[in-house]
Structure 1
């Protein structure tokens, strides 16, 4: 397998884009990535998306976007892995280029979630859970995470307010990201006063959805002349049971552990070598569980990292440096690509006030469902 590098990146601002269609949002990110790469054509297009059939009434997104961006006659396919669809599309493109089957690929993660009423989008999101044993019993996706968070607090003795630093950190970083949905700093007091969604998860524990797209162009590493060169050092994926209650330990993200372990081995690094970590903080509890399963904290101690300010830009494990899902926003099928684009921005030194000093190695972890599908990628900057 040959080395692969990222040639171009692009993204759109996350929000409620009533004036734009699904094809326009995805197209904007795709064109931006192609322009950044300095290319007019690629060999293949990979689209990450979860909800287009249910929310937008549109399937066959590979051809849909190939037609829109002018990649006629090229290979094009949609990849779906719930909220992990973006990273899954990137991994598929990566394997195609690394194998030598193609010389260039455009990857687009895209989601338009405002075309349906909130209840319909909630029902669509629930398709990431077990239809027979979770959804049909009346539990929502946020309800599943609330049960996990309640058990975590019981097992390890944390209070709800202890999770506040995850959200505070994300909102503080999003203030400097023009593409983030939420530009508002929050405090512990505001976090605690926030409206309850599904106890103990309140509004400021949860990430906002929205419309958005992020894209990348990848090519064999030897084709890139400009510096720094951003290499893909590792790509790994793993699964767990789709239903949380079927797991031996519902408080441990086994798929995060497996995928991060493989990624570390592939890249030849340890958690201590990671300069920036874009984790999947769909809910604050998932941030804590990801840190633990990925080797940055002991079991039940992920919250301590946040309380000790170790997840800040100046901390030991800078996370969600552009706002994370919590404040940048979570257009589900696009999220994995936003994470990867943001890691590239860090490794290029393009993050302004939220730039991690000397960042050379970055990791992105994208989660589908309640930890059922988890993909971990490690990128490296090479001068």
Structure 2
């Protein structure tokens, strides 16, 4: 049974933007409202995600700034911050609100600027990103997220024999998909040879294993199940799971397993009365190529240890049996932290409506989105389906 439905979706191109946050968000929110066929005055509440504007741009108290910019002054607004899972958690709370009858029509979105347009260089933004790691145990060592996910991936290599060539295959696939996505930060294809020839960032990751810092915004309109049929092309939200894990890597029993993702996926599948085997494709948090491999296993799309071989065999390609990241993923589409979660849901909406253009997954009826925050200590998993 549907818990809610998405009836409108919009997003900006991800990349480098020089607009202030409220203007950038407006370029996603207003198209989402138009897509839903609703006016700002019809929105009951606004839930949005932004992770770093306070540190990066000295710009906080964003709720009324964004709401008034898109014509929703007076609407209750709630900002969420959960590292990279920020707007996914905003969406989860919106779904719960309409499912509980608190609101009928909710705007959900996210916005972030992470490029030097913020006034911060790459080193400074890397430090700001790292604020999501453990303040006492990890930050003093200089550990940043390339190192965090490199540690997860090296352990996965040790356990299952995952190879650098398999990581490169993930990059090649996602860049190929991103080349078909007009909103992607990177629209250029690459090869395994080019990926393996890149400079080391954090062993085993080379440059092409890492997603970019991006600016961007995304938004969806969520309505109650009871109202969904009064809108054009609603897409059902049938399950949303949310779980956490311990933060320090040294305290994780099996860091290559990403336990929070498994717990959140179990919740989402149970709510939706479905399983991984029923998913026609997935959008996952591939901040690094190794993260996609871990996510494919955590979601149950492939067996443990089979994430690397599945990528190498083409199983996760758009025409494979378990397509992953037809949007290009964070790797090619880009990663504006607060906008990433709802951008995944924009992709699910377009694919399930059959409007994704050249990157369309044929016959897609159900899909899963996986978005994690920090060092895999927060994960939100969403199942969406074509409305019957």
TM-score interval, smaller chain: over 0.9
Q: Is the 8 A contact 1:279 1:320 kept in 2?
A: yes
Give distance in 2, aligned partners of 1:154 and 1:110.
37
Confirm or deny that 1:5 pairs with 2:5: yes
Shift of 1:296: 1.7
Q: Is the 8 A contact 1:109 1:214 kept in 2?
A: yes
Shift of 1:227: 5.2
Confirm or deny that 1:210 pairs with 2:211: no
Confirm or deny that 1:300 pairs with 2:305: yes
Decide whether aligned partners of structure 1 residues 141 and 359 sit closer, same or farther in structure 2, where only a CA change above 3 A counts: same
Structure 1, residues 52-87: CA drift from partner, whole Å, max 9, x if none?
A: 101121112222211211211110010010000010
Aligned to 1:88: 89
Give distance in 1, aligned partners of 2:284 and 2:387.
23
Q: Is the 8 A contact 1:7 1:218 kept in 2?
A: yes
Q: Is the 8 A contact 1:49 1:80 kept in 2?
A: yes
**Root mean square deviation, CA, Å:** 1.3
Equivalent residue pairs, number: 382
Shift of 1:298: 2.1
Moved more, 141-150 or 87-96: 141-150
Shift of 1:154: 2.3
Find the partner of 1:256 among 257, 261, 266. Answer: 261
Structure 1, residues 106-136: CA drift from partner, whole Å, max 9, x if none?
A: 0111111120111111111001111111111
Q: Is the 8 A contact 1:277 1:319 kept in 2?
A: yes
Aligned to 1:102: 103
Aligned to 1:168: 172
Find the partner of 2:325 among 302, 320, 342. Answer: 320
Secondary structure of the equivalent of 2:67? helix
Give distance in 2, aligned partners of 1:267 and 1:195.
43
Confirm or deny that 1:281 pairs with 2:286: yes
Find the partner of 2:162 among 127, 142, 158. Answer: 158
Aligned to 1:43: 44
Aligned to 1:241: 246
Structure 1, residues 237-283: CA drift from partner, whole Å, max 9, x if none?
A: 00001112111111111111111011111111111100110011001
Q: Is the 8 A contact 1:47 1:61 kept in 2?
A: no
Segments of structure 1 that go 5 or more residues without pairing to the other structure are none
Runs of 4+ deviating beyond 4 Å: none
Q: What TM-score do you get using the length of structure 2 for normalisation?
A: 0.96
Confirm or deny that 1:269 pairs with 2:274: yes
Q: What TM-score do you get using the length of structure 1 for normalisation?
A: 0.97
